[in-house]
Amino acid sequence: MIRVMRPIIVAGNWKMHTTPAESGPLARLIATRTNEPGVRRVICPPYVCLAPVRDALVGTDVAVGAQNVHAEAAGAYTGEVSASMLVGLASWVILGHSERRRDFGETDALVNRKLARATEAGLRPILCVGEQLADRDAGRAAEVVRSQLEGATAGHAAATLIASGLVVAYEPVWAIGTGRSARASEAAAMADVIRHAVAALGWDGAAAADLPVLYGGSVTSANAGEFLGEPSIDGALVGGASLKVDEMAVIVARAGLTARARSAAAR
């Protein structure tokens, strides 16, 4: 069943690409080429590009997101960025991305603390979850994702997470930056697992059903339609393709088709 209250979201994660001089013009061009009613767009540039991207997007409805945040509110953490530092620069933040887990050893407990800092600062979190290939091959994919959700949200009141506008991005680790993506049916099934998992964690049935779930993992213009055509998937967390204007234009246009179809179905 499609819940019309769920927004369609396309978030671009630029990772460690673009300079401050490059980022503003690129963000503005993407905003111009992806002006699709019914689709919420978010651009997540590197920290040093947050201000130029924010300024370039003035007058558009494209939001700015950060790619990470520190787990403490302040302190002697050289090279780190706190949630309060992001206020005014970004309104969204990615948490627990698979590359952060893999390359920097981020655990569910650490992501849990980051989620607390993000919600305290009023940043809208995109919480990433996903299994390794060995987990999927062993039939443990759903178990791993449920465990990650439980670990990241333990101790957080359901009402607080709902009020924060929490979004969950399902990104199978074996599909990140590999050019290999999950089948749309696999991603859709995991979206259902995610909503059942938050219901088991204390969310009421309507709130769990309304939780936006994105797919992330080598999303391109060629495969976006497969995922966006699934009723349980509400958009995409786009990596490398989000740096290409033509790719983003096609992805967001396809997301617009989904938004219009859902709106028509709800009438």
pLDDT at 180: 67
CA distance 226 to 217: 13
Tokens 């989904």 — which residue? 258
Instruction: Give the distance between the most distant pair of CA atoms in the chain.
Output: 54
138, amino acid identity = A
Which regions of the chain are under pLDDT 70? 1-4, 177-181
Q: Which sign, positive or negative, has the C-alpha torsion 45, 48, 49, 55?
A: positive
Q: List the CATH code of the domain at 8-266.
A: 3.20.20.70
Task: Report which of 151, 144, 155, 147 is spatially closest to residue 119, judged by C-alpha positions.
Answer: 155
pLDDT at 19: 98
For residue range 78-91, list pLDDT tens digits in order: 999 999 999 999 99
What lies within 8 Å, CB to CB, of 69 at 6+ separation is: 81, 82, 83, 86, 93, 95, 114, 117, 118, 123
111, amino acid identity = V
CB atoms within 10 A of CB 5: 11
For residue range 136-145, list pLDDT tens digits in order: 889 999 999 9
Catalytic residues: 97, 171
pLDDT at 175: 79
143, amino acid identity = E
pLDDT at 2: 44
Tokens describing residue 216: 């992330």
pTM: 0.96
